[in-house]
Amino acid sequence: EVMDQMLGMQQIEKELAEHFGIAKCLVAAGDCDVQPKVLNEFGELLQNSLATVLPEGQNIIAVMGGTTMAVVAESLEPLETAQRHNLFVPARGGIGEAVTVQANSVSAVMAAKTGGQHRALYVPEQLSDETYRTLIQEPMIQEVLELIGKANVVIHSIGRALHMAGRRKMSAEELAMLKQKKAVAESFGYFFDQEGNIVYKVPRIGLTLSNVQKVPHVFAVAGGKSKAKAIEAYMKSAPKQTWLITDEAAANSILAAN
């Protein structure tokens, strides 16, 4: 029976990867909306994937924040070897999250768990345009931005558009605009409609979606039935080299709707 379940899951993984036309899907059993341990399972799947695909030499791994990423970070294990060194950096500057789930925190935890290094990007949220423009000229910030630009690995999550807009305390006008443009998904500070078109960008420094297109190893980690529509929308236009790590609940709901 265990064997049947495994074959069943492999079938779902294959169908989902074909559906999105992406490199690979890994599907954990269950639904992370109601079973928090599924998030740890995402961590294990990511750990195994990184252990397999991370090249030797110096890797620069750009990571996003969020609650999924925060839990996944805690379940990582050593990935350093004599030949392989990993430097974790936040993918984007301050996009409005609580400290514990900010990209800076996620990258620090990932570095600690895997035995790698990390660099933080200190850009506060509420800055005047002028201060912002001056701040990003600082050598310390420029240095980290350069590292981000050289990332060969990206790890991110996907969220529901309006939920993320609320969590980031976006204005009533922005919320109305997102509704009017029928935004359903958010990733990297970009909002997407059901067809995967970008309908809005949060202006922040760091990795852009067009940078991500050229990154050799991209991992998207998101699950739960509640995120099925968001995952589907984002994955429609996701870079084709993306590996999607998700759960059965999201996978089944996406496949059933198609």
The encoded tokens of residue 155 equal: 């790890």
The answer to whether residue 68 forms part of the interface with ligand F6P (CB under 6 A) is yes
The answer to whether residue 65 forms part of the interface with ligand F6P (CB under 6 A) is yes
The answer to whether residue 186 forms part of the interface with ligand F6P (CB under 6 A) is yes
Q: Nearer to ligand F6P by C-beta: 57 or 203?
A: 203
Distance CA 75, CA 12 (A): 24
Which of 86, 107, 157, 253: binder of ligand F6P (CB under 6 A)? 157
One DSSP character per residue, 175-238 reads HHHHHHTTEEEEETTEEEETTS-EEEE---SB--HHHHHT-SEEEEE--SGGGHHHHHHHHHTS
The answer to whether residue 64 forms part of the interface with ligand F6P (CB under 6 A) is yes
The distance of closest approach from Cβ of residue 228 to ligand F6P in the complex, given in angstroms and rounded to an integer, is 13
The encoded tokens of residue 121 equal: 């990007």
Q: Nearer to ligand F6P by C-beta: 25 or 101?
A: 101
Q: Nearer to ligand F6P by C-beta: 89 or 158?
A: 158
Q: Nearer to ligand F6P by C-beta: 84 or 181?
A: 181
Mapping DSSP to helix (H, G, I), strand (E, B) and coil, where does residue 75 land? coil
Give Cα 248 distance to the centre of its chain: 18
- Interacting span for ligand F6P (CB under 6 A) from 130-138, 181-189, 210-218, 244-252: 181-189
Mapping DSSP to helix (H, G, I), strand (E, B) and coil, where does residue 160 land? strand
Q: Nearer to ligand F6P by C-beta: 65 or 206?
A: 65
The answer to whether residue 165 forms part of the interface with ligand F6P (CB under 6 A) is no
Size of the site for ligand F6P (CB under 6 A): 16
Residue with tokens 């995402």: 42
Q: Which helix (H) or strand (E) element contains residue 122? A: none
The answer to whether residue 31 forms part of the interface with ligand F6P (CB under 6 A) is no
Helix 248-256 and helix 228-236, axial crossing angle in degrees, nearest 10: 70
- Interacting span for ligand F6P (CB under 6 A) from 5-13, 22-30, 49-57, 66-74: 66-74
Q: Nearer to ligand F6P by C-beta: 80 or 120?
A: 120
The answer to whether residue 188 forms part of the interface with ligand F6P (CB under 6 A) is yes
Terminal alpha carbon distance of the chain: 28
Which of 22, 46, 61, 66: binder of ligand F6P (CB under 6 A)? 66
One DSSP character per residue, 169-188 reads T--HHHHHHHHHTTEEEEET
CA distances from 118 to 110, 157, 245 (A): 8, 19, 23
- Interacting span for ligand F6P (CB under 6 A) from 4-12, 24-32, 130-138, 183-191: 183-191
- Interacting span for ligand F6P (CB under 6 A) from 16-24, 116-124, 158-166, 239-247: 158-166
Residue ranges binding ligand F6P (CB under 6 A): 64-69, 95, 97, 156-159, 164, 186-188
